[in-house]
Amino acid sequence: MEFVSRKKLLLFSGRGTEELAGEIATCLGVELGDVRLSTFSDGELYARYGENVRGTDVFIVQAHCDPINDRIMEQLIMIDAAKRASAKRITAVCPYFGYSRQDHKAEGREPLTARLVADLFTVAGADRVVTVDLHAGQIQGFFDFPVDHLTALPVLGDYLIDNLDGDVVVVSPDPGRIKLAQRYARYLSEGGVEADLAFIDKRRPRGTHDIAEAAEVVGRVQGRVCVLIDDIIGTAGTITAAAEALHARGVGETWVSATHPVLSGPAIDRLKNAPIQRVVVTNTLPVPNDKRFDTLEVLSIAPVIAEVLAAVFEDRSVSEIFRGDNV
């Protein structure tokens, strides 16, 4: 008896990323898979696949958006259901990976919650994780299986190249984002927009999470177009404090470019009232209408994710897609 194995890709979406998952499916030329997701009256979650997944490559898309704990748990349950239905390989696609900011201990008696969430995916039965712009690249080491770490730089960078005009400087809102700022500056320069670098010395009062103080601007910014870059906009405290510091030093314009629009708490009001001309983000997280404002531009990350999922399915290199910038 001889059997020639054939691979089949199935793409499913949790309830946190249905629009983005639909765009990814369109880019891949496939239909979203049939899965029944519901919530019991006591808050427990339920998942059941409406089609055969035995022997297939299953990709489960879920951004860890609000309510974040339900979104993570739902994806874990979908992974467990696929494993018990004999899927050959299960890839958790997490455009935004929840708890990624809790990747180290800033004070005693704190958890490493990013590691805990990684362990949950391992136990649930995932074989691989695909995610975009982790808060810290070393989070990849928290997993006991392969992680494909994507970057939104091609999407955001191309938009900036097409729309920026003038003397440009890429500004890191804190010293920890300098390497990201360097990659932005290099990408812009390769696209014909020469960009210098600057950074802001940010201080966060001890014991706080959403309060940021911009102490000093390092670099020449006066009269120039400044592009503040970050991976996450949470309450927008860091970004708006940085924008105020740049404004006080007489910049020409301030743009903001970030991958993940968490936009929690006072973020919208802060961004509206800050001296910022444009805020450019991707749809790794859904941005509902009540969180949109005139200067916000939301770009689709779907083509990038779809290209990577195709490469994973076909066992091709992912790093070659990003020319090594996905670290």
Query: Among all residues, which ones are annotated catalytic?
Result: 202
In sequence order, what DSSP letters do the residues of 20-63 get, joined into one string?
A: HHHHHHHHHT-PBP-EEEEE-TTS-EEEEESS--TT-EEEEE--
Q: Is 211 helix (H, G, I), strand (E, B) or coil?
A: coil
Q: Please give the Cα distance from 321 to 327 (Å, whole number).
A: 12
How would you class 108 by CB atoms within 10 Å of its CB: exposed for 0-12, middle for 13-18, buried for 19 or more?
exposed
How would you class 288 by CB atoms within 10 Å of its CB: exposed for 0-12, middle for 13-18, buried for 19 or more?
exposed
What six digits make up the tokens of 256?
A: 């903001």
Question: Is the distance from CB of 233 to CB of 262 less than 8 angstroms?
Answer: yes
How would you class 101 by CB atoms within 10 Å of its CB: exposed for 0-12, middle for 13-18, buried for 19 or more?
middle
Nearest to 267 by CA among 232, 237, 227, 230: 237
Question: Is the distance from CB of 198 to CB of 182 less than 8 angstroms?
Answer: no
Q: Please give the Cα distance from 142 to 116 (Å, whole number).
A: 9
Nearest to 305 by CA among 296, 286, 318: 318
Order across the sheet with 57-61: list the strands: 9-13, 57-61, 89-94, 128-132, 147-150
Q: Which alpha helices (DSSP H) does the chain contain, by range? A: 18-28, 68-84, 113-124, 153-163, 178-190, 237-248, 267-273, 302-313
Q: Which residues pair with 132 in a beta bridge?
A: 150
What six digits make up the tokens of 144?
A: 């006991």
**What backbone torsions phi and psi does residue 246 show, to the nearest 5 degrees?**
-70, -40
